[in-house]
Amino acid sequence: MREKQSAQKGFNIFRYKEDRIPVLIILTLTVVDFVLYATVSNGWILFAYYILMIIPKGTICAWNHHHQHLFTFRNTLLNRGLEFAYALHTGVTTHLWRLHHVLGHHLNFLDQEKDESRWKRKDGTRMGVIEYTLNVALTAYPRGFRVGRKHPKQLKPFVIFTLVTFSIVGLLVWYKPLEAFLLFVLPMVTSLLFTAYVTYEHHSGLDTQNEFEASYNNLNPMYNLFTGNLGFHTAHHHKQGVHWSKLPQLHETIQDKIPKNLYTKSAITNMVLGG
C-alpha cells in the first residue's frame, strides 16, 4: 500500500492538477519559439509573429506570477526549467517576482513609501499609467535585488539563474541575431513593460490602510480564465499563499467587506475580451 502511494506521489509532479493545461500551453509556445528560431529567417514573418504574440505572452506573465507565489512542481529542477521558459516569454527570471512581488509588494502595498510597485510619486501625487509602467519595469531588477539582500536564500537562485538565462539569450543572439531579437529579446522587454502596465489598475489611487479597500477586482469570467483568477485581487492579497484555482471560493468569504466601487473592468478586458 505504501509503495503504491509513493508511486502515485512520484507520478504526480504537479502540486495542483489545475496547473497542467496552462503549463502545457506555455511550454508548447516555448517549443514553437525555438522551432521558429531554428527554421525561419524571414524578419517580416518573425515580426508578424512577435506582434501576434504580444497579448498571449503578456497573459503568460500572470501564470509566472502565480508560480512565484506557489511553485508549480514538487521537483526543484522542474521548477527551474519552467522558470527559464517563463523568463523567455515574460522577461522575469527565477525568483525575481518572488523577491520583488511576494516578499516586497505584498508586504508593502499599503505603504507607498515602501511598496516595490508604488503608484505614488515622492511628493505623494499619483503617477500616470505611462510613468508608473516605466518606473516599475525599469526598477524591477534593482528592487528585487534590494529585497533579496534581506533574504539571501531567495537571492542566490535569483542571481544564479538570472545570469544563466541572460547568458543563454546572449548565445542565441550571437548565433542568430535577428531571430533571437524578434523571438526572445523583444518579447522579454515588451512583456515586462506589459506586466507593469496591467498592474497599474490593481491598486492605483487607493490610499488606505484597509486591505479590503486597497485592490480593484475584475470578475469577468474570460479575464479570469486567461489570467488564472487574477481578477479576484483582494482575495489574492488577503491570503497570497492560496492557489489561483481557489481564489473564487476565498473571494466569496470576504466579498461583503469589499466596497462596490472596487469592482471594475480592466483595459485589457475591454479591448481583448469584450468587457
Instruction: Indicate the DSSP class of residue 232.
Output: -
Tracing cell 524571414 back to the chain, one arrives at: 42
Average pLDDT, the chain: 92
Cβ distance 170 to 180 under 8 Å?
Answer: no
Phi, psi of 77 (to 5 degrees): -60, -40
Segment 59-80, tens digit of pLDDT: 999 999 999 999 999 999 999 9
Segment 206-255, tens digit of pLDDT: 999 999 999 999 999 999 999 999 999 999 999 999 999 999 999 999 99
12 versus 23: which is more confidently predicted? 23
Cβ distance 165 to 87 under 8 Å?
Answer: yes
Label each residue of 78-120 as H, E or C.
HHHHHHHHHHHHHCCCCCHHHHHHHHHHHHHCCCCCCCCCCCE
Residue 12 is predicted with a pLDDT of: 86
Cβ distance 137 to 189 under 8 Å?
Answer: no
